[in-house]
């Protein structure tokens, strides 16, 4: 069964489930519903190491070598046999040569001998321990070790394979590659990396009132901001954004845009036109073109959300209000796009407990994602709500650095109450 058929079947099944209530969908339930519909969609490709940054691994990586490849010194000093060290007294050892990083010594250390050695240089045969140079002095080719300069065999020595053993699984399929992983792959000599193709995500804004910059807004018109916020969020998730512009509130124009988006992308995102009034007409259109479920999520900001399939593409209809669009993207679409990209596992964004510096308003019955600034003060994590919390106040997203997550059943909270915060940092990347 292909992925889109799997999703269609799941959508049908879910829409008939007894606990399915499109007019009041809890945040967690909606997330779980969407999760069931998602399977990775992207084929595998091989890319040069640098291009693998931010991509998702399509195969396990097994180390072809040991890292480090040889025993080496962890310090500048002298390599020696621990058995030669005189406990509690000075030890005198004949220096027989030197080993630099990249220039190994080609002999063996015998009893009573030592080798001048530098950090990263290969351990010579015969030696098992390194003494740091700060605990030594040299007199006419003899190294003099201070009493107790080394106290155990193997000190200051790094072992071959102590970072990675040959044949070890270093990274697993589904892992996203960040800077450290690029460095690790390079340390294994891997130049070519199997990753999933970038997920193609087409998006457009709907609304007769919208114009793009470059056009002066007439009376009643506004600049389209959602497409740019969306572009930013998509880019940071490592997908390939396909910007299809602004589409008027006209059935023919919307149908054409949706069809073209679905034909060219793995996922389609729209903003606007899903709230009451407009929803009916978009709903009819989407029901004709695919299988899409409309939900009223019990959350603020962000109430309306549409999710389903348009042809072979996953469809997400987000609300038009700019803060709602971003909140719904971060709470639902982000995870969905990571799963579709093949990332596994997708861990929930980290949440911390923080103390409110000011009271917050809240009515029970829906989960709220208020915007706040969290920081550490006197060793304690505190959070201050930004003053304007309207779903149209985009500057609130920019002033804030976290969502203050107030659970469905909770009411208003006084200053001093402890709440959950979700730093934006944990949401912007995969």
Which residues of this chain interact with ligand AMP, rule CB under 6 A? 205, 207, 209-210, 222, 224-226, 271-273, 275, 278, 319-322
- Residue 238 interacts with, from Mg ion, ligand AMP, none (CB under 5-8 Å by kind): none
Map tokens 């659970």 to a residue.
Answer: 407
SS (H, E, C) the chain: CCHHHHHHHHHHHHHCCCCCCCCCECHHHHHHHHHHCCCCCCCEEEEEHHHHCCCEECCCEECCCCECCCCEECCCEEEECHHHCCCCCCEEEEEEEEEECCECCCCECCCCEEEEECCCCECCECCCEEEEHHHEEEECCEEEECCCCCCCCCCCEECCCCCECCCCEEECCCCECCHHHHHHHHHCCCCEEEEECCCEEEEEEECCCEECCCCCCCCCCEECCHHHHHHHHHHHCCCEEEEEEEECCCHHHHHHHHHHHHHHCCEEEEECCCCCCHHHHHHHHHHHHEEEEEEEECEECCCEEEEEEECCEEEEEECCCHHHHHHHHHHHHHHHHHHHCCCCCCCCCCCEEEEECCCECCCCCCEEEEEEEEEEECCEEEEEECCCCCCCCCHHHHHCCEEEEECCCCCCECCCCEEEEEECHHHHCC
Q: Which CB atom, from 272 or from 322, has the smaller least distance to Mg ion?
A: 272
226 binds, among ligand AMP, Mg ion, none (CB under 5 to 8 A by kind): ligand AMP
Nearer to ligand AMP, 85 or 210 (CB): 210
At 92, give phi and psi (nearest 5°): -115, 125
- How many other CB atoms are there within 10 angstroms of residue 392's CB atom? 12
Q: Work out what residue 4 binds among Mg ion, ligand AMP, none; the CB cut-off runs from 5 to 8 Å by kind.
A: none
181 is written with which tokens? 């992983």
Task: Provide the Cα torsion 139, 140, 143, 148; round to 10°.
Answer: -30
Provide, rounded to whole angstroms, the least separation between the CB of residue 391 and ligand AMP: 8
Q: Using the rule CB under 5 A, is 54 a contact of Mg ion?
A: no
**Partner in contact with 210, chosen from Mg ion, ligand AMP, none, beta carbon below 5 to 8 Å by kind:** ligand AMP
CB of 244 to Mg ion, least distance (A): 16
Nearer residue to Mg ion within complex by CB, 82 or 223: 223
Considering only residues 309 to 328 of the shown chain, the ones binding Mg ion according to CB under 5 A are 320
Q: Which residue is nearest to ligand AMP (CB)?
A: 320
Compute the least distance from the CB of residue 271 to ligand AMP, in Å.
Answer: 5
How near is the Cβ of 298 to Mg ion at its closest, in Å?
A: 22
Q: Counting every residue, how long is the chain?
A: 430
User: Which option in Mg ion, ligand AMP, none does residue 225 bind, with CB closer than 5 to 8 A by kind?
Assistant: ligand AMP
Judged by beta carbon distances under 5 to 8 A according to partner kind, the member of Mg ion, ligand AMP, none in contact with residue 389 is none
Nearer to Mg ion, 183 or 217 (CB): 217
Burial of 394 (0-12, 13-18, 19+ CB in 10 A): middle
Span of 19-27, 165-173, 203-211, 303-311 interacting with Mg ion by CB under 5 A: 203-211
User: Choosing among ligand AMP, Mg ion, none, which partner's interface includes residue 205 (Cβ < 5 to 8 Å by kind)?
Assistant: ligand AMP
Regarding 304 and contact with Mg ion (CB under 5 A), the answer is no
Judged by beta carbon distances under 5 to 8 A according to partner kind, the member of ligand AMP, Mg ion, none in contact with residue 370 is none
Minimum CB separation of residue 14 from ligand AMP in Å reads: 24
Minimum CB distance to ligand AMP smaller for 134 or for 208 = 208
Choosing from 77, 161, 207, 302, the residue that interacts with Mg ion (CB under 5 A) is 207
Shortest Cβ 215–ligand AMP spacing (Å): 14
Least spacing, CB of residue 173 vs ligand AMP, in Å: 37
322 binds, among ligand AMP, Mg ion, none (CB under 5 to 8 A by kind): ligand AMP
Q: Give min distance, CB of 25 to ligand AMP, in A.
A: 17
Give me the residue label for tokens 């589409």.
247
- By CB under 5 A, the residues from 272 to 291 that bind Mg ion are 272-273
The label of the residue with tokens 């091989």 reads 46
Q: Which is nearer to Mg ion, 272 or 308 (CB)?
A: 272
Q: How far is the CB of 324 from ligand AMP (least distance, A)?
A: 8
Q: Which residues bind Mg ion (CB under 5 A)?
A: 207, 272-273, 320
């Amino acid at each position: 069964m292909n992925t889109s058929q799997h999703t269609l079947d799941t959508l049908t099944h879910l829409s008939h489930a007894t606990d399915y209530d499109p007019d009041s969908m809890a945040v967690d339930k909606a997330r779980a519903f969407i999760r069931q519909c998602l399977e990775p969609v992207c084929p595998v490709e091989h890319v040069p190491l640098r291009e693998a940054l931010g991509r998702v691994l399509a195969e396990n990586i097994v180390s072809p070598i040991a890292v480090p490849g040889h025993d080496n010194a962890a310090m500048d000093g002298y390599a020696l046999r621990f058995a030669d060290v005189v406990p509690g007294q000075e030890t005198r050892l004949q220096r027989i040569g030197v080993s630099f990083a990249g220039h190994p010594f080609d002999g063996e250390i015998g009893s009573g001998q030592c080798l001048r050695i530098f950090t990263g240089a290969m351990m010579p045969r015969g030696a098992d321990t390194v003494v740091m140079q700060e605990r030594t002095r040299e007199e006419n080719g003899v190294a003099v070790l201070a009493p107790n300069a080394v106290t155990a065999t193997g000190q200051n020595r790094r072992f071959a394979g102590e970072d990675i053993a040959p044949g070890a699984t270093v990274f697993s399929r589904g892992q996203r590659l960040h800077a450290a992983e690029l460095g690790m792959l390079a340390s294994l000599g891997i130049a070519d990396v199997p990753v999933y193709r970038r997920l193609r995500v087409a998006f457009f804004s709907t609304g007769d009132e919208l114009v793009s910059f470059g056009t002066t807004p007439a009376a009643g018109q506004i600049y389209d901001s959602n497409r740019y916020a969306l572009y930013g969020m998509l880019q940071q998730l490592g997908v390939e954004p396909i910007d299809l512009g602004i589409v008027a509130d006209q059935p023919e124009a919307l149908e054409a845009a949706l069809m073209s988006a679905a034909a060219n992308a793995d996922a389609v995102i729209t903003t606007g036109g899903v709230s009451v009034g407009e929803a009916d007409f978009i709903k009819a259109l989407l029901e004709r073109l695919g299988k899409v479920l409309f939900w009223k999520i019990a959350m603020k900001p962000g109430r309306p959300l549409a999710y389903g399939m348009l042809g072979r593409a996953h469809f997400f209809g987000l609300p038009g209000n700019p803060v709602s669009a971003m909140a719904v993207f971060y709470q639902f679409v982000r995870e969905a796009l990571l799963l579709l990209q093949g990332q596994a596992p997708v861990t929930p964004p980290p949440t911390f407990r923080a103390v409110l510096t000011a009271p917050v308003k809240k009515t029970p019955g829906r989960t709220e994602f208020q915007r706040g600034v969290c920081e550490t003060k006197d060793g304690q994590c505190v959070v201050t709500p930004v003053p304007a919390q309207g779903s149209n106040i985009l500057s609130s997203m920019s002033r804030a650095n976290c969502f203050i997550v107030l659970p469905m059943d909770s009411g208003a909270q006084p200053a001093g109450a402890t709440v959950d915060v979700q730093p934006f940092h944990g949401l912007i990347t995969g």
